Amino acid sequence: MDDSLRELENVERLRLTGRVDSITCREIESLFRNAVMAGKRLIIADMAAVSYVSSAGLRVFLSFQKELKKAGGEICLFGTTPAVYSLFEISGFTNIFRFLSSEDEVKGFLEAPVEKTEIREVSSDKVLLRVLTRNLPVGSFTVIGSDEKLSSAGYGEEDVSSVKASDIRFATGLAALGHRFEDYKGYFGEAAVIDRNIFVYPALKRSAVDFIIHAEGDKDTAYHFLHGFSFQGEFNHIVSFEPKGSLFTLDELIDSAQLASSSPIIGITGIFESKGLFGMRLKKIPIRGNSNPGEKDIFSGESFPEWMDYSIETEDLYNLVVITGIAVKDRGAVQGPADRIIPREGRYHIHGIVFDKKPFNKIIDNFPNELKRVVTGMEPHRVLHLLGKTRVGPGLLGIAELGG
């Protein structure tokens, strides 16, 4: 068999032999899983030496076909014998899989013309970027509430800023969901808003992500913030990024994003595969009555470990992560509202939502649809304030230029 296409980006060729049944299906499942986790979205399974496929084996094929289809990929079956093809036919699977019988068919399928888009490449020693630039208006950002009472854990009902979902497209901050302050005051936590859908990870010992998927035309829901920021606008640039080495960090991703845009301030939303997260989140809610007597600053001294959950080792390996936040080119030049939300010693403020370990579609034109699919269809596990040493795998970014 000609293996010259084996190294094509996102394509994996797997040679299967013998029986695919309840005894061997776990091994086959492992082969498929390893290919998917390595970023392959098209798997060509060489079936020429396969003599039999049981229902257990068919279930493995079907499971991965469904998973890959959601990410814009698929499993193709190459060289299937008539006897094995009949097993797929009897099960009604011949309309679910693409069957290829020759190398010419394989090459024709892989080399099929696609609609061309004006995409430029930007390369550094760390990453390869493919950038789709769109001529769209500059967006805007808004500070929500204030962080002045955060360090003293002095927030009260008077400090809550309630924002309608229809007025907040992307955001991060400390937020809660509910109708009355007395009901939701015990559920504030790290939050991220993606296309008006909000995800909140309450600052509780045994927490779980609470979320609202916002649909156009729904009754407008209010999201309650103690502090945070939001940005509005379309993506002026959509970027696919492929790290060149095994260690590519969030710091380097932000540097790379600023190669694609000349704007002093940018809003960033993206999807990537985690290679190990470093993050932090509040363990207690910073409202009056939750601090210890005499405690003046929850971020200093002995107070910090009591209030903050902070990554010591990498976490959430291979999970999908959706991020949103803002970044600046030059921290020293930042004035006005942005000065209040960018850390004094940093250049960005990013929150990440940790989702399942699933494949995703890295086609640059499809970013808005893929973002919606992940955010509205996958299970969220955590929301974190991400740290710069977070290790980032391949992914996609939307960049909204927010001016100066």
Cα-flanking dihedrals φ and ψ of residue 233, to 5°? 125, 160
Residue 1's pLDDT band (cuts 50, 70, 90): very low
Dihedral sign (CA 301, 306, 307, 313): positive
User: Lowest-pLDDT range, 246-255, 302-311, 336-345, 364-373?
Assistant: 336-345
For residue 257, give the 3-state DSSP assignment.
helix
Q: Is 212 exposed, middle or buried (0-12, 13-18, 19+ CB in 10 A)?
A: middle
pLDDT of residue 210: 96
- What is the residue extent of each domain of the chain? 11-110, 123-401
Query: Which pLDDT tens digit goes with each residue over 95-137?
Result: 899 999 988 888 888 876 555 557 888 888 899 999 999 888 9
Q: State the residue for tokens 């301030």.
A: 265
Instruction: Work out the average pLDDT over 209-221.
Output: 81
Coil, helix or strand at residue 189: strand
Cα 96 from chain centre: 28
Question: What's the CATH number for 123-401?
Answer: 3.30.1330.80
CA pseudo-torsion sign 219, 379, 67, 41? positive
DSSP label of 249: B
Q: What is the pTM of this model?
A: 0.79
Nearest one of 48, 39, 42, 43 to 17, comparing CA atoms: 48
Residue by residue, DSSP assigns 317-366 as: TT-EEEEEEEEES-GGG--TTHHHHS-TT-SEEEEEEE--S------GGG
pLDDT computed for residue 6 by the predictor: 40
The pLDDT tens digits for 354-387 are 999 988 888 888 899 899 999 999 999 999 999 9
Distance in angstroms (rounded) separating the CA atoms of residues 134 and 365:
11
What is the third-level CATH fold of 11-110? Transcription Regulator spoIIAA (3.30.750)
What does each C-alpha distance from 79 to 1, 14, 166 come to in angstroms? Answer: 10, 12, 52
User: Which residues, listed in sequence order, are joined to residue 239 by a DSSP beta bridge?
Assistant: 131, 397
Q: CA distances (Å), 394 to each of 10, 180, 255, in order?
A: 11, 41, 15
Question: Rounded to whole angstroms, how far apart are CA atoms 159 and 154?
Answer: 9
Cα dihedral 61, 315, 378, 28, rounded to 10, equals 0
Residue 106: per-residue pLDDT: 86
Q: How many angstroms separate the most distant Cα atoms in the chain?
A: 79
Closest CA to 280 of 346, 328, 334, 223: 346
